[in-house]
Structure 1
Amino acid sequence: MSPERLGGDEDGQTPVDADDAQYLTAAYASIATRGELNDAEADNITDALLWLGDQTLTTADVLSQTFLRELHRRMFGEVWSWAGQTRRREMSIGVAPAQIQERLQILLGDTAYWVEHQTFPESEISIRFHHLLVSIHPFVNGNGRHARLAAGALADTLGLGPDHLSWGARSGLPVAEARRRYLSALRTADRGDYAALLEIAVR
C-alpha cells in the first residue's frame, strides 16, 4: 500500500510532469512515465529498508530531525534531488514551510513525553506519531511512505518488533481498497479518533 505514489493511472503511462521532472537526479533524468517513476522509487525504498534493517536505533535516535531527514534521503535520494530536504514551498496540505522545523520539534518532544510517561499504549504512540508527521508534510513528496517507515522504526524501538505495523498488508484487501481505508482513517484521525488508523496499521 502506498497512498502517496505519484502515479494515479492504472497502466502507468501518464507522462511525468515537467515541473517534477526537473528535480530528478541525473541517474533518472530519462524517466518519462509515472510507471517508470513508481518503479524507480520502489527500488530506492527497498534499498532504504535494507539500510534501516542494519541500524541499531534507540527511541531517541528515531525522535530526531536528523534521523527523519536521513530516512527520507535514503528512501528517495537516488531519484529526487530534494530528498531529505524539508520543503520550501507552500502546498495544499501540510503546514507552512516556515513552521515545519518548529512543528517537527514539537511533535518529537510530545512523542518523547508520551513514551516516557506511557501516556498511550506503544502501538497508539506510534500511530499518533505517524499521523502528526503526515499532517506536517515536511517534504515535497513521499510523506506518507516516510511516516510509515518512521513509525515502524519507532514501534521497533518500543519493543513491538520491526513488523508490528503492517498498514493493511496482512488484511488481504486489494491495494486500492486498503489505500481508501487508510486515507479515510487519516481523516478520522484529524478529528482525534485514532481507532480506525490503529486497526489498519496493526492488521
Structure 2
Amino acid sequence: MNELEGENIIAGLTWLDRRPKSFDLLTDAAVREIHKRLFGEVWDWAGVYRLTEKNIGVPIWQISTELRTCLDDARYWCDHKSFDPLEATARLHHRLVWIHPFANGNGRWARIMADAYLTKIDPDIFLDWSGGGTLNADSAHRAAYIAALRAADRYDFDPLGTLVRSIAR
C-alpha cells in the first residue's frame, strides 16, 4: 500500500467514524460511498462497480443483485439475531469479498464494511484483521485468511468464523 492510499484510507475511516447516525450502512449507495471515501484520491473509478469480468467475483451483471441480497441478509441477521455478532460479521465479510464489486480494494473495503457492521451490532468488539501481524501476501496469517474465505465459498463457514473469533478483541 503506498502512502497516498494509506492517507486516503485513514481519511475514509475518519469520515466513517463521524458519519451521521442516519447513514444506513446496508445500502447500495452506502457501499459505493464508503469505497469512494476510502480510495477516491487514488482511483478515479472508486465507488463505481467494476465493468470488466475478473477471475474472482460474480459476473458484472449480477453485482447489484447479489449485493442487494447480501445487504438485506445482513440486515435480517442483525434485526433477528440470526447469528452471534462475530458469525454475522464473518458471513457479511465473506459475501462482500465473494461478490467482489469493485476493480480493486475489495478486501480492504470488505474488512472495513465488516468492522462498521460489527460496530452496529456490538460496539464493544474490535477485529484486528492483521491478527497481530500483517495481511501481506507472504504472511501465514494471510494464507489462513484466504483459506478461510475459500472454505466459505464452499459453504464451510467454520474456518472463517474461527479466524474472526481469534482476531476479536
Shorter-chain TM-score tier: 0.7 to 0.9
Question: Structure 1, residues 112-144: CA drift from partner, whole Å, max 9, x if none?
Answer: 122222111111111101100110000000001
% identity of equivalent residues: 41
Unaligned runs of 5+ in 1: 6-37
TM-score normalised by L of structure 1: 0.74
1:167 alignment partner, one of 100, 107, 129: 129
2:118 alignment partner, one of 155, 168, 174: 155
- The Cα shift of 1:173 comes to 7.0
Q: RCO (CA 8 Å, sep 6+): is it higher in 1 or 2?
A: 1
Q: Distance in 1 between matches of 2:33 and 2:154?
A: 30
TM-score normalised by L of structure 2: 0.88
Q: Distance in 2 between matches of 1:123 and 1:93?
A: 25
Residue 168 of structure 1 contacts residue 201 of structure 1 at CA under 8 Å; is this kept in 2? no
> Aligned-residue CA RMSD in angstroms?
2.0
The verdict on how the C-alpha distance between 1:61 and 1:173 changes in structure 2, with shifts beyond 3 A counting, is closer
1:87 aligned to 2:11?
A: no
Matches within 5 A, 1:1-203: 38-57=2-21, 61-161=24-124, 164-170=126-132, 172=133, 175=136, 176-202=139-165, 203=167
Q: Distance in 1 between matches of 2:56 and 2:26?
A: 23
Unaligned runs of 5+ in 2: none
The verdict on how the C-alpha distance between 1:122 and 1:174 changes in structure 2, with shifts beyond 3 A counting, is closer
Q: Distance in 2 between matches of 1:158 and 1:196?
A: 21
Aligned pair count reads 164
Which runs of at least 4 in structure 1 moved beyond 6 Å after TM superposition? none
The verdict on how the C-alpha distance between 1:190 and 1:174 changes in structure 2, with shifts beyond 3 A counting, is closer
